[in-house]
Amino acid sequence: ALFSLPALVVMAFLGFNSVKVTSGGQSRLVERLGKYDRQLQPGLSFVLPVVEKVVSHESLKERVLDIPPQQCITRDNVSIEVDAVVYWQLLEHSRAYYGVDNLQAAMVNLVLTQIRAEMGKLDLDQTFTTRQEVNEALLRELDLATDPWGVKVTRVELRDIHPSAGVQQAMEQQMTAEREKRAAILRSEGVRDSELNAARGRAQALLLQAEAEAKQQSLQAEARAAAATCLARAIAADPAAAEALRLLLARDWMEMGEQLAHAKGGTVLMVDPQSPASLLTALRGLQEKG
């Protein structure tokens, strides 16, 4: 036999190892005599036994890097715990393999450093209200820092921000105080509106009452004036009516005498002796006052 059985076994083994099948979305790096030679593309490839060797096999798909919780100090010296998730993709396999020793560990440390730096720029309240802005800032910084490694950072998300127990208790007390303050303000505004409406109602009622009294007095004055006018016309037109009026005046003079006798001091009766109608009206006014 040209080749012995052990030689055939060795040749078959070497031939089998020289065939490499690379799946889609995967990458293999090949070194020749210890020096980087090429990157195997998806599909069937061959490497020279002994001379060439596959030194790295990585995925080119987007991957997720889970960042463990990290203690940070905000600008107002509050201790918080932050964790995040980073989405990244390997674009250049050779740069990542030869540029950094442990790519994933290096990225974790880089993300933690950037998170501490960004949290140190913000107050505690801003860490809750500007989370999207922090995510965008981390994305820019990480993408720039990992570019020499052939890595593309596609998205960064801060998942949870937890202040220390003492800070959480203080925040809860503050929120309780704010809610009580808003409730007190609403109650006081309700009482004020109620009192204002009641005052407006009383003022409107008084106004309506005054208008009604004024209208009543106006109607009474018009009625008295009309009665006096009719009486004057009757006296002027009928002599018998004038005689009746003199008799009525005589009776009223007698009654007036009695009322003047019991009237308060300072009572003055203003009459026109030339106008019987005015005298009758004055007498009736005195009777109403009495």
Listed by start position, the domains of the chain span: 5-59, 62-163, 198-289
Question: What number is the average pLDDT over the span 93-114?
Answer: 90
Between 243 and 192, the higher pLDDT residue = 192
**What ranges make up the beta strands (E) of the chain?**
19-22, 26-32, 35-40, 43-46, 52-59, 62-73, 79-90, 151-163
Can you read off the two tokens belonging to residue 69?
């919780």
At residue 140, the pLDDT reads 92
Query: What confidence tens digit (pLDDT) does each residue in 274-285 have?
Result: 555 555 565 556
Task: Give pTM, 2 decimals.
Answer: 0.53
Decide if pLDDT at 290 tops 80. Answer: no
User: How far apart are alpha carbons 123 and 266 in whole angstroms?
Assistant: 86
Kindly report, residue by residue over 138-179, the tens digit of the pLDDT.
999 999 999 999 999 999 998 888 887 666 666 667 777 788
Over the stretch 123-140, which tens digit does the pLDDT of each residue have?
888 888 888 898 999 999
Confidence of residue 271 (pLDDT cuts 50, 70, 90): low
Residue 86 has pLDDT above 90, yes or no: yes
pLDDT of residue 63: 92
Phi/psi-derived region of residue 212, left when phi > 0, alpha when psi is between -120 and 50, beta in every other case: alpha
Q: What pLDDT shows up at residue 1?
A: 47
Residue 57 backbone phi and psi in degrees, to 5: -135, 115
Q: Which H or E run contains 145?
A: helix 131-146
Q: Which range is most confident: 81-85, 270-274, 283-287?
A: 81-85
Say which CATH topology domain 62-163 has. Answer: Tetrahydropterin Synthase; Chain A (3.30.479)
- Residue 223 pLDDT grade (very low, low, confident, very high; cuts 50, 70, 90): confident
